[in-house]
Amino acid sequence: MATQFIDVDVRPTLRAGGEPFGEIMGAVASLQPGQGLRLLATFEPVPLFHVLGSKGFSHEARKIGDGDWEVLFSRAAAATPRDTATIKPASDADTWPSPVREMDNRDLDPPEPMVRVLAATEAMADGEVLSALLCREPMFLLPELAKRGHAWRGGFEPDGKTYKIFIRVGAAKQVE
C-alpha cells in the first residue's frame, strides 16, 4: 500500500523567525495509518530525523532549490518507537563546576545554534560544562545531547525570551 503524504510547509514560519516544532509534531500526531508527512523547510532538518526516528519514522530528504528542502517521513515497517520521555535534565542534586565555555547563539537562525553547541561539546573534555544562550527552547538539541552521553539543565531566563542551557560533557556516560 502506498503512503499518502500530508503536506506541512513550515518555510513561512521559519522565515518569520518562528519555531515550527509544535506545528510539525501536531501534524505527526494526527497522521492516520497509511499516512506520512511531507515537510517543506528552509534547511535540512537533521535534528528532526532523530526525533521522528525515535517515534518509528524513516525519512527521505532532498534539496528542492533556493536552499529549501523536502522531507518525506514514513512509518518504518518494523520500527518500535522509543520513549523520548526518558530524555530528562540532570538532577539538581548534582553539583556542577563553573562553565569553561560560554556561547551566545541568540542571533543565529536554526539549525546553526545546535550545530555550534554540538561542535563545541566535541572539543571539550568529559566533565567540563558549556553554557549557551538561545532564543528558543532547544527541542532538537536535547535528544542529541542524551544520545551523545551529555547531561544538561536549562530553562527560560526571567525575560521569557532567552533560554539558558548548561551542558556537562560526558556526564551521562559516567552514570551508566
DSSP letters of 98-112? PPSEEEE-TTPPTTH
Contacts of 16 (CB under 8 A, 6+ apart): none
* pTM of the complete model beyond 0.75: no
- DSSP, collapsed to helix, strand or coil, labels residue 59 as strand
Pick the last residue of a domain from 52, 77, 102: 77
Check if the beta carbon of residue 67 is closer than 8 Å to that of residue 88. Answer: no
Claim to verify: residue 94 and residue 127 sit in the same structural domain: yes
Contacts of 34 (CB under 8 A, 6+ apart): 1, 3, 4
Domain range for 97? 87-175
Number of domains in the chain: 2
Q: What is the CATH number of the domain that holds 18?
A: 3.30.110.40
Looking at residue 84, its pLDDT comes to: 39
DSSP annotation of 91: P
Distance between CA 4 and CA 74 in Å, rounded? Answer: 9
Distance between CA 106 and CA 162 in Å, rounded? Answer: 8
Of the candidates 131, 70, 139, 143, which has an alpha carbon nearest to the alpha carbon of residue 96? 131
How confident is the chain (176 residues) per 10-residue block, as mean pLDDT?
90 90 88 93 86 84 91 72 45 75 93 93 94 90 89 86 92 57
Pick the last residue of a domain from 77, 103, 119: 77
Check if the beta carbon of residue 130 is closer than 8 Å to that of residue 121. Answer: yes
Looking at residue 94, its pLDDT comes to: 60
Looking at residue 4, its pLDDT comes to: 94
Claim to verify: residue 91 and residue 171 sit in the same structural domain: yes
Looking at residue 53, its pLDDT comes to: 80
Hunting for cell 497509511 — which residue is that?
34
Structural domain includes residue 82: no
Claim to verify: residue 66 and residue 41 sit in the same structural domain: yes
